[in-house]
Amino acid sequence: MLDLGRRARAAARALALASTETKNAALLAIAAAIRERAPAILAANAEDVAEATARGQTAAFLDRLALDARRLEAVAAAVESIAGLPDPVGRSLARFERPNGLAIERVATPLGVVGVIFESRPNVTADAGALCLKAGNAAILRAGSDSFRTSSALAAAMAEGLARAGLPADAIQLVPTRDRDAVGAMLTGLNGAIDVIVPRGGKSLVARVQADARVPVFAHLEGVCHVYVHADADLAMAREIVLNAKMRRTSVCGAAETLLVDRACAATHLKPLVAMLIGAGCEVRGDAAVQGADPRVVPATTEDWPAEYGAPIIAAAVVDGLDAAIAHVERWGSHHTDAIVTANEAAAARFLAEVDSAIVLHNASTQFADGGEFGFGAEIGIATGRMHARGPVGLEQLTSFNYRIRGTGQTRP
């Protein structure tokens, strides 16, 4: 593993100096190699699926693992689309001139080496590798043991694409073992060779990475997202936003898990919102006031307020005004994504300023918590930490910067 790290660090230097054209050529060559090697990749995937089936994995698990020609084409197309995004490296982030004439520029540079630890979805191999490559970073990818054959076949295609463009194959390395100790080694940073770790997977993986990593981590453990229907919310808008935030896709991290309705509008808004959710197939677990609005409401317990259901279930409470709503979100939320529905600009401004979440929205669905929806093109994950990246982690968030100073012979007095 330490050798893997050394090779990644060396490749990172070559990538940092590679031109946009070279990186894009490599991405296109990777997409082409994935298409050319489709039979081998699909055969490897069939072996992975057969083994996972024999081990009794769930249907949902097998669906995440399985590739077919259409899905593999989507993987190749996603790599191509990253070639079309602007290069985040070399951007001028700030320029200023000092009274002594020094011209200081802050310029985006690659981060270095990114470690990505993922589970069953083999497409992460290509997605994460391609994003890291475009941002000038070397990648060390650790695939879930269930998708190891598929990921290996994809990694071989990526190595071929890199080589065709004249970039080191070590720029995107797959950990060449299913040995679980490899994850622990990555979390130590491989002797300084890994600059940041990105876990992609379930809560137990993310929790382990966050607990044990000795290097920075871009991750979110939970998405306990709230929609607060303020006293001055338009009921029709609240209905659309609440329904979309909860039910569009219940398994995504930006799905709403808690509905807060202001007591000042509960008389008019609570009952129709609850009826709408239940009518749409959503279980509503409410406090006493919410239970009073509809006999089908299930009593909520304190375990419901911090719950991330990832399912058609919502916790619901009536709150006494904006301050109580913000306090509820701060106490029980996960600082991921939270929304207020209101026609009151002052209330919205306070909610946006005072809720300490990566993403806060006014009059829009929490399901917009996604790098693609931000126009970031592609993302490697969503971060709820406060260091470096927060919210969608796209190409820009995979860069660092340095200061480049141009003088005319200045010395410091």
Nearer to a copy of itself, 17 or 40 (CB): 17
Nearer to a copy of itself, 144 or 223 (CB): 223
| Cα pseudo-dihedral 10, 11, 12, 15, rounded to 10 | 140
Nearer to a copy of itself, 143 or 243 (CB): 243
**Is the distance from CB of 315 to CB of 305 less than 8 angstroms?**
yes
**Is the distance from CB of 221 to CB of 384 less than 8 angstroms?**
yes
Q: Where are the beta strands (DSSP E) in 239-358?
A: 256-262, 283-286, 298-299, 313-319, 337-341
Nearer to a copy of itself, 58 or 411 (CB): 411
Nearer to a copy of itself, 80 or 370 (CB): 370
Q: Which residues are near a copy of itself by CB under 8 A?
A: 13, 16-17, 90, 96, 98, 102, 104, 109, 111-112, 195-196, 214, 216, 234, 237, 240-241, 243-245, 248, 330, 348, 352-354, 356-365, 367-368, 373-375, 386-388, 390-391, 400-412
Tokens of 390: 């927060």
Nearer to a copy of itself, 147 or 367 (CB): 367
Q: Where are the beta strands (DSSP E) in 183-297?
A: 196-200, 225-229, 256-262, 283-286
**Is the distance from CB of 364 to CB of 241 less than 8 angstroms?**
yes
Q: Where are the beta strands (DSSP E) in 25-111?
A: 92-97, 103-110
Nearer to a copy of itself, 44 or 135 (CB): 135
In angstroms, give the least distance from the CB of 57 to a copy of itself.
30
**Is the distance from CB of 80 to CB of 28 less than 8 angstroms?**
yes
Classify each residue of 152-185 as buried b or exposed e, where b means 16 or more C-beta atoms within 10 Å of its C-beta: bbbbbbbbbbbeebebbbbbbbbbeeeeeebbeb
In angstroms, give the least distance from the CB of 398 to a copy of itself.
11
Q: Which of 167, 159, 21 is nearest to 90 (CA)?
A: 21
In angstroms, give the least distance from the CB of 292 to a copy of itself.
28
Distance in angstroms (rounded) separating the CA atoms of residues 391 and 338: 12
Nearer to a copy of itself, 204 or 402 (CB): 402
Nearer to a copy of itself, 174 or 389 (CB): 389
In angstroms, give the least distance from the CB of 334 to a copy of itself.
13
Distance in angstroms (rounded) separating the CA atoms of residues 188 and 154: 26
Q: Which of 299, 288, 296, 241 is nearest to 266 (CA)?
A: 288
Q: Which of 321, 239, 233, 225 is nearest to 273 (CA)?
A: 239
